[in-house]
Structure formats: C-alpha cells, structure tokens
Amino acid sequence: MTDHYAVIGNPIAHSLSPTIHTLFATQTQQDLIYTAVLADNNQFAMCIQHLQDQGFKGANVTVPFKEEAFRLATQCTERANQAKAVNTLSFHDDGSITGDNTDGIGLVRDLTQNIKFNITNKCILIIGAGGAARGIIPVLLKEQPAKLYITNRTKQRALDLVNDFANLGEINIVAWDENNQQPYDLIINATSLSLHNDDTNFPICRITTDSGCYDLVYGKQHNVFLEWGKSLGAKWCIDGLGMLVEQAAEAFSIWRGIHPQTQPVLQYLLNRK
Ligand code: ATR
C-alpha cells in the first residue's frame, strides 16, 4: 500500500522537498507519495488533523510553523526539545504524534560529509538568534568546536538563547557593532537577511582566506550574505542546499527506517540550478 507524506508551510510552492523525497523513494524502492501542502497561517493544527484523518504517515514542517509543530506534537525527541522547534512529524495509529528536528544534524552532515569541514576544535560564529539558530546550536555544540560565538542585532535575544542553552555548552556573545578581530573558521548566517536580500550591513568581523561562510538559506540567485563573504575574501561560501537534502534524508530515515544516499540527489539539484 502506498504511504503518504507532506511538507507543510506558507509559502510552499517553491519547496524542493517533494522532489527530494520522491528521488529518495525511487532510490530506496519505497512505495510513497510526498506532496506540498499550503496552510493558512492560523490553520496549521487543522491541516495536521486533516492529514491524519486521511491516513498520512508523517509530515515535514517549514516556515512559519516549526514552533507550533513543537507545541502540537504529543511527544518530542531530545533534539527537538532542545531546539523547541520541530521539522519532522510522525503520525501514529493511535492518533499521537512524535516531533523531531533534523535541521541541526542536516547542517552537521553537510559540513562534515559534503563540504569536508571538520567542526571539532574550530572557531565558529553564528549570526542570528531566532528559531533557525536554535535549531542548529545543540547539534553544533555536540561536535565540540573550540569556541562558539553568536551575534544578533537585538542583543537580548542572544542573551536569552545563551541562557536557554547554558547546560549544553559555552556560547560567547559578540556585540553586533563590535569591531571584533577574532578570526573565524566558519561563519553561519542564521538570520532571515538573505531570505529577503535586505540591504543591511552584516556585523563587522574578521574573515580570512581560511574562513568558510555558510548560509542556512538556499537557492537564492543573489545571496547578500554569501556575496558579503566573497567580497571579504572567504575561502568558500556555500548556501544551505546540502543541509536541506541532509535534513530530508534524516526525516526519510525516521519514517522509513532506511537512510538514502544524499550525493546523487544533491548533484541532481545542483545540475538543475
Ligand atoms: P527564524 O525562525 O527564521 O530564525 P526569526 O525567529 O524571526 O526567524 O529570526 C530572524 C533572525 O534574523 C533574528 O536573528 C533577527 O534579528 P533580531 O532578533 O534582531 O530581530 C534577524 N534579522 C532579521 N532581519 C534583520 C535585519 N534587517 N538585520 C539584522 N538581523 C535581522
């Protein structure tokens, strides 16, 4: 029998998730259909109930519903509880729902396996302190970077985040307008700046010819963050397409018990660009 899954968001029309999961299903010979569902901003819970009523087995959740999905899930995995956000829901026969968050592991796998960047003992700066930053920090800390820094336009949000994650490891706050001379091995953009390509300055920070710049956002023709990194001479500047494929592979493996190969799917998407 064919199993059904969906990705729910708003907007959702340009989501690559249906393509990615359909390629995974073909590759692993799993009998499933994966569709994109647009939910009104105040109708997420209703939409999930509808999918459950129709016998769907699970769903991915994207902007702006990840925090709501966390609240809706009957139980959550440790990494979802840490992030307080959920991007993968599994629907069970008794009506209960398990929430998980595969974003952090998706980023770490893209960095370590695809980009061959070893996080351990590296100096990392995260720009942004919203939901996207919260999703990746617990998993990044597990990789034991030498130092993890965070900077955010609104300092209080950075302070709150550091406070919330205090039991997971040390996170150092850098003021947004501080002329900080610390050289970073990796700078991650977790703000929404490149999503809208806002014409705003990034914080002053030292990028060297050894630094990498990674944007959690993917698929932008022009990406203000990556262009900023390039203009300052960064060694490499890469968007979050690989993370998207890796987080999807982890979700697929949660649902189907089989981890698909990600390289062929990533190459397919890169060739399509
Ligand atoms: P998400 O869940 O995608 O992380 P969010 O919680 O709204 O979304 O967080 C957006 C992030 O982008 C925040 O770090 C935000 O900074 P503030 O906390 O100061 O709002 C950052 N951001 C958005 N627009 C920005 C801008 N024009 N300049 C600098 N930072 C910006």
Q: Using CA atoms, how far apart are residues 87 and 243, in angstroms rounded to an integer?
A: 13
Predicted local distance difference test score (pLDDT) of residue 131 = 86
Q: Is there a single domain that holds both residue 261 and residue 173?
A: no
Q: Report residue 104's pLDDT band, with 50, 70 and 90 as the boundaries.
A: very high
Crossing angle (nearest 10°) for helices 241-256 and 263-272: 140
Mark whether 142 and 34 lie in a shared domain: no
Centroid of chain to Cα 81: 15
DSSP string, 115-149: S----TT-EEEEE--SHHHHHHHHHHHHT--SEEE
Q: How far apart are CA 200 and CA 192, in angstroms?
A: 11
Closest-CA residue to 119 (of 204, 212, 192, 181): 212
- Residues 57 and 4: their CA atoms lie apart, in Å, by 6
pLDDT band (50, 70, 90) for residue 192: confident
- Residue 185: give its domain's CATH number: 3.40.50.720
The predicted structure's pLDDT at residue 133? 94
Residue 196 Cα: closest atom of ligand 1: 24
Comparing C-alpha atoms, which of 28, 56, 62 is closest to residue 247? Answer: 62
Residue nearest to atom 3 of ligand 1 (CA): 132
Please tell me the predicted confidence (pLDDT) of residue 194.
84
- Supply the range of the domain harboring residue 94: 3-100+243-272
Q: What is the pLDDT of residues 252-261, one digit of tens each?
A: 999 999 999 9
pLDDT mean across residues, the chain: 94
Ligand 1 within 6 A of 192 CB?
Answer: yes
Q: Are both 47 and 81 inside the same structural domain?
A: yes
Question: Which residues on adjacent β-strands are paired with residue 187?
Answer: 125, 213
Q: What is the pLDDT of residue 96?
A: 98
Q: What is the pLDDT of residue 221?
A: 83
Q: What is the mean pLDDT of residues 157-183?
A: 91
CA distance 128 to 154: 9
Confidence category of residue 5, pLDDT binned at 50, 70, 90: very high
188 and 142: one domain? yes
Is 146 a residue whose pLDDT tops 90? yes
Please tell me whether residues 201 and 227 are part of one structural domain. Answer: yes
Ligand 1 binding pocket includes 191 (Cβ within 6 Å):
yes
Residue with the smallest CA separation from ligand 1 atom 7 is 130
Whether 23 and 144 share a structural domain: no
Residue 96: partners with Cβ closer than 8 Å, 6 or more residues away: 74, 75
Work out the average pLDDT over 161-174.
95
Q: If you take atom 5 of ligand 1, which residue's CA is the nearest one?
A: 130
87-110 CB burial, b ≥16 within 10 A, e <16: bbbbbeeeeebbbbbbbbbbbbbb
Residue 219's pLDDT band (boundaries 50, 70, 90)? confident
Any ligand 1 atom below 6 A from CB of 132: yes
Active site positions, annotated: 66
Mean pLDDT of 61-87: 95
Omega before residue 145 within 30° of 0, cis:
no
Cα of 143 to ligand 1 centre, how many Å?
Answer: 25
Best probe residue, ligand 1, of 153, 164, 196 (max atoms within 8 Å of C-beta) = 153
Q: What pLDDT shows up at residue 109?
A: 98
Q: What is the number of structural domains in the chain?
A: 2
| CATH code at position 15 | 3.40.50.10860
Closest CA to 106 of 242, 226, 255, 273: 242
Is residue 96 located within the same domain as residue 115? no
* Same-domain pairing of 33 and 85: yes
Mean predicted confidence (pLDDT) in 110-126: 97
* 195 touches 216 (CB < 8 A): no
pLDDT in tens, 21-73: 999 999 999 999 999 999 999 999 999 999 999 999 999 999 899 999 999 99
Q: Is 152 in the pocket of ligand 1 (CB under 6 A)?
A: yes
Q: Which of 161, 155, 96, 91 is nearest to 133 (CA)?
A: 161
Confirm or reject: Cβ of 220 under 6 Å from ligand 1. Answer: no
Residue 8 predicted with pLDDT over 90: yes
Q: Which of 87, 160, 191 to mutate to test the pocket of ligand 1 (most atoms within 8 A of CB)?
A: 191
Say whether pLDDT at 13 is over 80.
Answer: yes
